[in-house]
Amino acid sequence: MSEPLPAFSDAFEPGRLAPVPRLDNDEPITRDWAIGGATGAGVKVAVIDSGIDADHPAVGGVDGAVIVEPDPDSEDGYRIVDGPHADLYGHGTACAAIIRSLAPDVELYSVRVLGERLTGKGWVFAAGLDWAVEAGIQVANLSLSTTNENHLSTFHELTDAAAFKQMMVVAAMSNEPKVSIPSEFSSVFSTAAIRTDDPYEIRYNRSGPAEWGARGVDMEVAWSGGSTIVATGNSFAAPHITGLVARILSKRPHLTTFQVKTVLAALATNAI
């Protein structure tokens, strides 16, 4: 008589496991193999930020929008309002436009969690990420973070839930040397800015906590009211990675989070 299986082992029994997607790479992973001919079509991307100016010519519209805002009368402390909204700062528009420039045909969703001063509450930010997970978003761009370690377990649970649902979470590190939650988590694509004029150049850092480097220094970016500004920040590196991830998923939609990371690492300029 055999011993009973330990907890969690039953998931690996015959007939219970889902098929594992293959990279199908009988040839080297190149840019053409990964994203050639892909436009982001069929991929849902959420920008969790200050909103998106959908009328900005560099954005070209959004496919959905929600506002997550504090509500003291709600049991959860926040409410979600569906419908078009403005960008209260310009930051979300900048990120959305970068994503569009790399993956023009993504389905773009604005999840506004930040206010006019580009600040917000940690639990509202978490609620926005939770909305994206439950809405079936495939790539979430988080060009924001929290330093409040009281939210650590909440964001751990959310990013784990995202990873198990194969939602890619791309998160910018803080621009200052301080705690960046959830950007530092290994389950996300943590990003920082590098000096380059090539929007396709990425670098891979095996040591972390910033895992991916992408363009984000002295960039002309879209801003509110149809304008542009020149800016530097890790915030602008994240949407470059988001755009590339969306392109990969557009071409190879069944890849898992760690497989997409493998593809990105192969495309890095420091790959050997």
Please give the average per-residue pLDDT across 187-208, as a whole number. Answer: 95
Close Cβ partners of 198 (under 8 Å, ≥ 6 residues apart) = 215
pLDDT at 25 (0 to 100): 67
Helical H runs in the chain? 31-35, 91-102, 122-134, 152-164, 234-251, 257-267
Average pLDDT of span 54-63? 97
Question: What is the dihedral angle through the alpha carbons of 58, 173, 215, 269, rounded to the nearest 10 degrees?
Answer: -140
Q: Mean pLDDT, the chain, as a whole number? A: 94
pLDDT tier, 28 (very low <50, low <70, confident <90, very high otherwise): confident
pLDDT band at 26 (very low <50, low <70, confident <90, very high): confident
Domains parsed from the chain with CATH numbers: 28-267 (3.40.50.200)
- What tokens does 227 get? 């304008």
Read off the pLDDT band of 10 (50, 70, 90).
Answer: confident
CB 244 within 8 A of CB 43: no
92 contacts 224 by C-beta, under 8 angstroms:
no
CA distance 63 to 46: 10
Task: Check whether 1 has a pLDDT greater than 70.
Answer: no
Question: pTM, whole model, 2 decimals?
Answer: 0.93
Contact predicate 121/114, CB 8 Å: no
**pLDDT score of 157 more than 80:** yes
Q: What confidence category does residue 24 fall into, taking pLDDT thresholds of 50, 70 and 90?
A: low
- Range in 5-9, 103-107, 236-240 with the lowest mean pLDDT: 5-9
pLDDT band at 131 (very low <50, low <70, confident <90, very high): very high
Q: Judge if the upstream peptide bond of residue 177 is cis by omega within 30 degrees of 0.
A: no
